[in-house]
Amino acid sequence: MNENRNTSSDLAGTAAVPLAAPASQASKAHATAPVPVPPQAQAPSAPPEPALARVVVVGLASCFGCQLQITNIESHLIEVLGQFDLRYWQLTSDGHMPEDFDVAVIEGAVTTEESLAAVLRLRERAKAVITVGACANTAGIPGLASTRFDERLGEVYQHLPQACGTPIAPRSVPSVITVDYAVPCCPIDPFEFLEALGRALYGSNRTLGTRTMCGDCKRNESACFYNQGSLCLGLVTRAGCNARCVNLGRPCNGCRGVSPHANLESAREAVARYGLSVKDFDLRLELFNQTNPVLSGRE
């Protein structure tokens, strides 16, 4: 939903939670991406009203679904919005990106020179960057077009319209800047976003879990797709969604990204052991992880 507002104080009657030094203690990333401290943080005389963190939400190449998921917290959307000063929400705003803000929420993959420049600018200015959704985190579905990229442009357009900008092979946000908080999945779980936002606003050193999904299915007592002769990417995918798709009878397609603990070689051996095609397994992995260097190093 959809409007930029210049202040949040005019918003509903909900209690605004004061913000103490937004996110600063949690941003280990700042070692690599030094960010100037905004002037008001050094204000000499203590102002009685603590400022709310200034948040901007930016959409790159995506389906907008993760931004929609944020609006799908209908029951307490207003309460959530009352916690920060929403300076810019690109989904439908007619305003301009402000010069100063604290937290940048980025949805979508980087697919043009223009969006690459925009992301670099966001990193320079933001104290904390949150990436939402598979497109931002792993290049997701847009990443599927990253191989043979120039050829693909010709498959869709005879003459590339100027309005497309200057296309570059799709890439994830963390492949071009340091990201402080990632909300994975396609689409995101809105409550997982709230958790990440809370960490950015109030500080926390909690990180995303790194185990793979198979353990979740065991706990859920779900029947394994491999026993039914079907590929499932739960073998190597980062857990945390409680195996939502598997619970509904559909194999995992890997939208949370490859877990850092995944053992791809061992997974491929398991696939072969079940009499399934390792080539198909690798193809399926491309769906959300095409640009992951772990995959390109598979030879």
Q: Site residues (CB under 8 A) for other proteins?
A: 1-5, 10-13, 60-69, 71-72, 74-75, 77-78, 81, 90-94, 111-112, 115, 140-142, 144-145, 152-153, 155-165, 167, 170, 186-187, 244-245, 248-250, 253, 283-284, 287
Considering the complex, state which of residue 93 and residue 204 has its C-beta at the smaller distance from other proteins: 93
Minimum CB–partner distance for residue 39 and other proteins (Å): 28
In the chain, where does DSSP find H-type helix? 65-71, 77-81, 113-125, 133-138, 149-156, 190-202, 214-220, 244-247, 264-273, 278-289, 293-296
Considering the complex, state which of residue 31 and residue 156 has its C-beta at the smaller distance from other proteins: 156
At 113, which amino acid appears?
E
Indicate the DSSP class of residue 189. Answer: P
Minimum CB–partner distance for residue 270 and other proteins (Å): 21
C-alpha–C-alpha distance, residues 16 and 133, integer Å: 27
Minimum CB–partner distance for residue 38 and other proteins (Å): 26
At 6, which amino acid appears?
N
Considering the complex, state which of residue 26 and residue 235 has its C-beta at the smaller distance from other proteins: 235
Long-range contacts of 119-125 (CB under 8 A, 24+ apart): 119/60, 119/173, 119/176, 119/177, 120/176, 120/177, 122/56, 122/58, 122/177, 123/33, 123/177, 123/178, 124/33, 124/35, 125/35, 125/99, 125/100, 125/101
Minimum CB–partner distance for residue 295 and other proteins (Å): 16
C-alpha–C-alpha distance, residues 6 and 19, integer Å: 18
Minimum CB–partner distance for residue 36 and other proteins (Å): 28
Considering the complex, state which of residue 170 and residue 184 has its C-beta at the smaller distance from other proteins: 170
Q: Is 241 helix (H, G, I), strand (E, B) or coil?
A: coil
Say if CB 34 and CB 81 are below 8 A apart.
Answer: no
Q: Is 125 helix (H, G, I), strand (E, B) or coil?
A: helix
Say if CB 132 and CB 188 are below 8 A apart.
Answer: yes
Minimum CB–partner distance for residue 160 and other proteins (Å): 8
Minimum CB–partner distance for residue 68 and other proteins (Å): 5
Considering the complex, state which of residue 263 and residue 277 has its C-beta at the smaller distance from other proteins: 277
Considering the complex, state which of residue 62 and residue 137 has its C-beta at the smaller distance from other proteins: 62
Considering the complex, state which of residue 269 and residue 280 has its C-beta at the smaller distance from other proteins: 280
Minimum CB–partner distance for residue 223 and other proteins (Å): 12
Considering the complex, state which of residue 28 and residue 279 has its C-beta at the smaller distance from other proteins: 279
Q: Is 141 helix (H, G, I), strand (E, B) or coil?
A: helix
Tell me the sheet residues that pair with 167.
112
